[in-house]
């Protein structure tokens, strides 16, 4: 049986990826220190399958991966220090530790005897400097020139750690694919994202309440996690994916955050009025990936439309996080 390893395997994309790989016949090892990932009912269900195991360890420990075998065909490196609070309060650690984790994962990859692909999860934030200082083509192709934002801004730390990680992977000598996810959403994504935040506030609101919405005119394209994972797996398994940098996401349609809020209200079934609030500092006006390269390489394009994706996401959060029919205490 082919074997795959996922660092950050208990996280949002990691758990969905583990489910997809197990369904395709892989033995799957999920590596996670559980500082962010959660062993909830969904993950417990996945771990009940005999071909899936959780390796609770810290990539920053030099010995953490020493005992693993050398027979993985696929390694997906998703583990990282993320989140606005970490980036703003711990920029040095974000830079230092994200690079250290990537180095550890690449060292593991280099020991493998039959490795077909090492997939590194970068970020759409690598385009932030170009957007800030120049005109950035939107939808944004992977070939867009990369400019650096102000290095003194804490927010730059995450982008730099990922950009340096891309360079490490490209020069590592192992077969790599770099992916840049764009606005992936769905069940188990936590609460620090615009979609679950809006869903929760709308769920707990009473009819005729006002729903505060920030950055109402900012536009995004949203990709449901099922589609994102399919692209990632197909890119990892394609001979053409080696050495490539690929956007992961949905090229269109662009949805303004105000429009998204209206869709959330409809999904939750409340009669609410949107209360427009100021734009969030540092939030780009538009973000949308060009998907021509990824679609050509994988033969796959995102299929789940926003209305359906929101329904699936709300159903999961209502049953697993929010509880009840609404109006309950936080």
Q: Is the pLDDT of residue 328 over 60?
A: no
Average pLDDT (225-243) is: 98
pLDDT interval class at 280 (50, 70, 90)? confident
* Integer Cα distance of 198 and 268 in angstroms: 10
pTM of this structure? 0.95
Q: Does domain 194-221+252-288+305-322 have CATH number 3.40.190.10?
A: no
Tens digit of each residue's pLDDT (9 = 90 or more) over 86-115: 888 999 999 999 999 999 999 999 999 999
Under 8 Å between Cβ of 104 and 60 = yes
Please enumerate in sequence order all residues whose Cβ is within 8 A of that of 206, keeping only pairs 6 or more positions apart, or say none: 270, 327
Q: Is the dihedral of CA 178, 183, 186, 187 positive or negative?
A: positive
DSSP 145: P
Give the per-residue pLDDT at 196: 98
Q: Which CATH architecture has domain 3-181?
A: 3-Layer(aba) Sandwich (3.40)
Q: Is the pLDDT of residue 121 over 90?
A: yes
Q: Is the pLDDT of residue 66 over 90?
A: no
Tens digit of each residue's pLDDT (9 = 90 or more) over 268-279: 999 999 999 999
If one counts every other C-beta atom within 10 angstroms of the C-beta of residue 309, the result is: 23
Domain spans in the chain, listed from the N-terminal domain onward: 3-181, 194-221+252-288+305-322
CA 102 to centroid of chain Cα atoms: 16
């Amino acid at each position: 049986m082919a074997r795959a390893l996922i660092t950050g395997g208990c996280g949002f994309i990691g758990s969905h990826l583990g489910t997809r790989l197990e369904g395709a016949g892989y033995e799957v090892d999920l590596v996670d220190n559980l500082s962010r990932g959660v062993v909830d009912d969904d993950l417990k269900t996945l771990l009940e399958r005999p071909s899936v195991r959780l390796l609770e360890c810290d990539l920053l420990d030099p010995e953490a991966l020493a005992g693993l075998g050398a027979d993985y065909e696929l390694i997906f490196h998703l583990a990282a220090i993320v989140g606005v609070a970490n980036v703003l309060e711990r920029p040095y650690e974000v830079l230092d530790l994200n690079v250290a984790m990537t180095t550890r994962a690449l060292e593991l990859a280099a020991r493998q005897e039959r490795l077909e692909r090492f997939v590194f999860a970068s970020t759409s934030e690598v385009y932030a400097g170009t957007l800030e200082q120049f005109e950035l083509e939107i939808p944004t192709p992977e070939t867009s020139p990369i400019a650096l934002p102000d290095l003194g801004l804490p927010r730059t730390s995450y982008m730099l750690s990922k950009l340096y990680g891309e360079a490490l992977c490209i020069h590592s000598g192992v077969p790599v694919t770099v992916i840049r996810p764009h606005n992936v959403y769905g069940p188990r994504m936590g609460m620090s994202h615009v979609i679950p935040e809006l869903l929760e506030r709308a769920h707990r609101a009473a009819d005729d309440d006002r729903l505060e919405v920030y950055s109402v005119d900012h536009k995004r394209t949203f990709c449901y996690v099922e589609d994102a994972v399919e692209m990632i797996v197909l890119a990892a398994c394609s001979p053409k994916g080696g050495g490539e940098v690929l956007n992961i996401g949905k090229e269109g349609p662009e949805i303004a955050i105000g429009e998204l809020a209206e869709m959330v209200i409809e999904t939750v079934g409340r009669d609410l009025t949107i209360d427009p609030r100021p734009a969030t500092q540092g939030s780009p006006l538009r973000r949308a990936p060009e998907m021509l390269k990824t679609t050509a390489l994988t033969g796959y394009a995102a299929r789940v439309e926003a209305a359906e994706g929101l329904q699936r996401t709300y159903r999961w959060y209502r049953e697993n996080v929010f509880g009840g029919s609404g109006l309950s205490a936080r």
